[in-house]
Amino acid sequence: MMRNILAIIALVLAAPIIAQPTEGELPPMPVWPKGPPVMKGWPGLAKVPVQEEARDNGETLWNVTVPTLQPFLPDPARANGMAVVVAPGGGFRLLAIHHEGTRVARWLAARGVAAFVLKYRLIQSPPGETNEAMRKRVQETLAPGVGGDPGVEDALEALRIVRANAQKWRINPQRVGIMGFSAGGHVAGMSMFAADPKDRPDFAGLIYGFPFGSANPPIPPANLPFPAGTPKEPWLQPKAVPAPGRLPPMFLAMAQDDLAVGVGFRNFYDHLFAAGYRPEVHLYERGSHGFGMATRDTTADHWIEQFGWWLDTEIKRK
């Protein structure tokens, strides 16, 4: 009997935080109350009016033209002052709004982190166009990353909104980060390169996503050059001094059997490393692309716990 009781206790302690709806879930709010900025010449616009549409039993959203931000606030007794804007993926054509959005936000809120699901603008699809036809059109007519331009603009505005409401939402305005999945990783990743460092997130999580442009954006050096005469041997060098304008701390995660973004993801990491950055990196053996909050019986199923542990260290960074 005692052995059974101990086994049950062990299972309870090891169980993940249940991500259920809470009182802290607020209605979505417009990112641009006066309407989103007009992007003249952006090739993602359809020639006819389109209407937002939910598909796949509500799991995906298409033709998002009015971006919104939905707060998922933690119980004040558990709140740790951190905030994360969550950008779902979907190839800039759709948003996996729950699998990579609301379910992630609920998990974070249960852990004490204020989360905000960003429904950002997408490439538009005219009535009657199939998913496969749209995929083919986008690949043939849009340069890499261009489909995410309005999403990046929405993400930067979302960060401003969260910081502007920090007091109301019990958030430390210096602890406002962003995370994104696949195409959302592009949105999150590009926000780190905002021209004004004050507009950048304080930390970023890129989950099987990164800046998808035809070339990596210029990466500013992480540290100042060593003084003249510094030994070349790394073990003899003094502690590096962070450079002004450096990118924020990063958490990167990808399955190594991900054929969609594997090469570019590793290339982006190599460029970060060469510039002096040492992001937290998790390369899982298996998991394929788009594992998000799914359970696939691989170690990639536990990425979010590892992201949570990493956030715990970020609380103490400054």
Angle between helical axes of 303-315 and 103-110 (0-180°, round to 10)? 50
CB-count exposure of residue 204 (10 Å: 0-12, 13-18, 19+): buried
Q: Would you state the structure tokens that stand for residue 41, as one six-digit string?
A: 């010449």
pLDDT at 157: 98
Q: Tell me the per-residue pLDDT of 198-251, one tens digit each, with 9 for 90 and over.
A: 999 999 999 999 999 988 899 999 999 999 999 999 899 999 999 999 999 999
Cα–Cα distance measured from residue 108 to residue 19, given in angstroms and rounded to the nearest whole number: 8
Radius of gyration (Cα) for the chain, nearest Å? 20
Rounded average pLDDT over 2-31: 56
Is CATH 3.40.50.1820 the classification given to domain 28-36+49-213+243-315? Answer: yes
pLDDT at 17: 41
Could you identify the residue written with the tokens 């379910």?
Answer: 103
pLDDT band at 315 (very low <50, low <70, confident <90, very high): confident
Cα–Cα distance measured from residue 314 to residue 260, given in angstroms and rounded to the nearest whole number: 30
Whole-structure pTM value: 0.91
Residue 300 phi/psi, 5-degree rounding, is -65, -20
pLDDT at 318: 62
- The CA distances from residue 259 to 118, 151, 262, 289, in Å, are 26, 24, 6, 7
